[in-house]
């Protein structure tokens, strides 16, 4: 029934997508040109010094999340038509050692992540969103530089391209090449953060009427695991082997909860996740428990328990233990088995950050698996710079 209601959207989407061509290098060049122009302009204008108290406040504001809403008065006319969720460039040292002591990876990689939308109306109720990324597979978001293991990779992919409509408040419709929704669950027990699907999604946000803060219903196709380019997955718009029904809700001011039922090509999975703020413990700011249950002829179970702590305005850490019972389409940091994991983050400046992620398998396994993994990531957030210069 739901697919029939979207037949007209499917036909429109195919017609439009066949005529759209997005060049990632052009987008990067334009972004760099805007920054260069704004920097030259700023050099000709003398900025008055702020009092010490105001300067401190300004620094705190600048270091806030890049996803925070931007005051419309600070936007240029360009912001009327375009809005970005992310423009970032990263490089990382990537190391994986197997349980038999062989090296599965020992190299340097880079990542490009550009996601934005074109707004057909001023409020952005109707828009076209595109996401351009590195990574040539379903669970991959990185390209090899060519140093160490793996051949050099240079391709960027349009992994996401979808039309979004909010005809009335609280109702949202998405159609096209979509990201996966995990709710409160992370990529440990949910789908990989780099995952992509092709189909349609309906979101309802009526907490006073429907109890839940959000109800999400998705019908899509999951597959083409080595074909991230959306334009080569257009044929999948008429197919569906993936259904997800997800609900989420805030419980007071402390907790956030989500649960979903997902059908994927014959596999039925239930997921639940809850995140609770516990600052009074002095050890963690929050703790999260997430788990999944696979039901049917081959049942299974997995979980992830972890906590996070913000040490100060620049440093934060997190750590926990996860168990995955089989090979899934979850984050590649969490293959089958039990392992402990730790993450440390440091802000090096307004736009630059450094992260270290370590994962260690524990116990014995009957076959060869990834046991030790280390990623050291340096990220430059260009979007922060563009927003500070009031370009978006």
pLDDT confidence of residue 282 = 93
pLDDT confidence of residue 222 = 97
User: CB–CB of 6/200 below 8 Å?
Assistant: yes
Of residues 177 and 23, more confidence is placed in: 177
pLDDT digits (tens, 9 = 90+) for 17-63: 333 333 333 333 344 444 444 444 444 444 444 444 343 333 333 34
For 314-331, what is the mean pLDDT? 97
Q: Which residues, in sequence order, are CB contacts of 95 under 8 Å at separation 6+? A: 103, 105, 106, 372, 373, 374, 375
pLDDT confidence of residue 366 = 81
* Phi, psi dihedral angles at 3 (to 5 degrees): -65, -35
CB atoms within 10 A of CB 21: 8
pLDDT confidence of residue 89 = 98
Of residues 352 and 22, more confidence is placed in: 352
Q: How far is CA 306 from CA 21, 148, 198, 359, in A?
A: 42, 32, 31, 13
For 142-160, what is the mean pLDDT? 96
Beta bridge partners of 87: 114
Beta bridge partners of 216: 203, 246
Evaluate if residue 79 carries a pLDDT over 90. no
Confidence of residue 77 (pLDDT cuts 50, 70, 90): confident
- Segment among 193-207, 300-314, 362-376 with least mean pLDDT: 362-376
Confidence of residue 75 (pLDDT cuts 50, 70, 90): low
* Phi, psi dihedral angles at 295 (to 5 degrees): -110, 155
For 347-376, what is the mean pLDDT? 94
Nearest to 132 by CA among 22, 225, 247: 22
* Phi, psi dihedral angles at 375 (to 5 degrees): -130, 125
Q: Which domains does the chain have, with CATH numbers?
A: 2-42+70-388 (2.40.160.10)
Confidence of residue 93 (pLDDT cuts 50, 70, 90): very high
User: CB–CB of 141/132 below 8 Å?
Assistant: no
Evaluate if residue 189 carries a pLDDT over 90. yes
CB atoms within 10 A of CB 247: 18
Mapped onto helix, strand or coil, the DSSP state of residue 190 is coil
pLDDT confidence of residue 76 = 61
pTM of the model: 0.79
pLDDT digits (tens, 9 = 90+) for 119-135: 999 999 999 999 999 99
Confidence of residue 154 (pLDDT cuts 50, 70, 90): very high
CA dihedral 346, 183, 128, 173 (to 10 degrees): -160
pLDDT averaged over the chain? 85
Q: How many residues does the chain have?
A: 392
């Amino acid at each position: 029934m739901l697919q029939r209601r979207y037949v007209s959207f499917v036909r429109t989407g195919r017609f439009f997508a066949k005529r759209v061509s997005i060049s990632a290098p052009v987008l990067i060049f334009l972004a760099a040109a805007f920054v260069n122009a704004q920097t030259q302009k700023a050099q000709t204008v003398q900025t008055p010094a702020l009092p010490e108290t105001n300067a401190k406040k300004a620094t705190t504001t600048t270091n806030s999340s890049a996803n925070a809403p931007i005051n419309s008065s600070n936007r240029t006319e360009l912001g009327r038509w375009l809005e970005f969720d992310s423009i970032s460039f990263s490089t990382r040292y990537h190391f994986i050692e197997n349980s038999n002591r062989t090296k599965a990876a020992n190299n340097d990689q880079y990542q490009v992540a550009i996601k934005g939308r074109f707004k057909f109306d001023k409020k952005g109720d109707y828009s076209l969103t595109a996401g351009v990324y590195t990574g040539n597979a379903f669970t991959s978001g990185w390209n090899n530089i060519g140093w160490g293991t793996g051949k050099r990779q240079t391709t960027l992919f349009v992994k996401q391209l979808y039309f979004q409509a909010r005809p009335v408040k609280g109702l949202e419709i998405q159609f096209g090449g979509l990201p996966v929704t995990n709710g409160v669950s992370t990529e440990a027990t949910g789908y990989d953060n780099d995952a992509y699907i092709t189909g349609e999604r309906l979101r309802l946000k009526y907490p006073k009427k429907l109890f839940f803060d959000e109800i999400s219903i998705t019908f899509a196709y999951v597959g083409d695991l080595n074909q991230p380019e959306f334009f080569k997955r257009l044929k999948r718009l008429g197919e569906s082997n993936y259904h997800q029904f997800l609900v989420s809700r805030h419980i007071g001011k402390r907790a956030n909860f989500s649960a979903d039922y997902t059908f994927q090509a014959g596999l039925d999975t239930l997921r639940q996740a809850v995140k609770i703020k516990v600052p009074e413990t002095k050890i963690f700011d929050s703790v999260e428990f997430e788990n999944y249950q696979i039901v049917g002829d081959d049942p299974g179970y997995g979980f992830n328990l972890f906590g996070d702590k913000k040490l100060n305005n620049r440093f934060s850490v997190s750590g926990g233990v996860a168990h995955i019972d089989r090979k899934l389409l979850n984050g590649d940091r969490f293959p089958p088995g039990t392992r402990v994991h730790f993450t440390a983050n440091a802000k090096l400046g307004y736009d630059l950050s450094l992260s270290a992620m370590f994962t260690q398998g524990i116990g014995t396994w009957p076959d060869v698996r990834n046991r030790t993994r280390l990623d050291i990531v340096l990220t430059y957030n260009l979007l922060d710079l563009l927003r500070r210069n009031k370009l978006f």
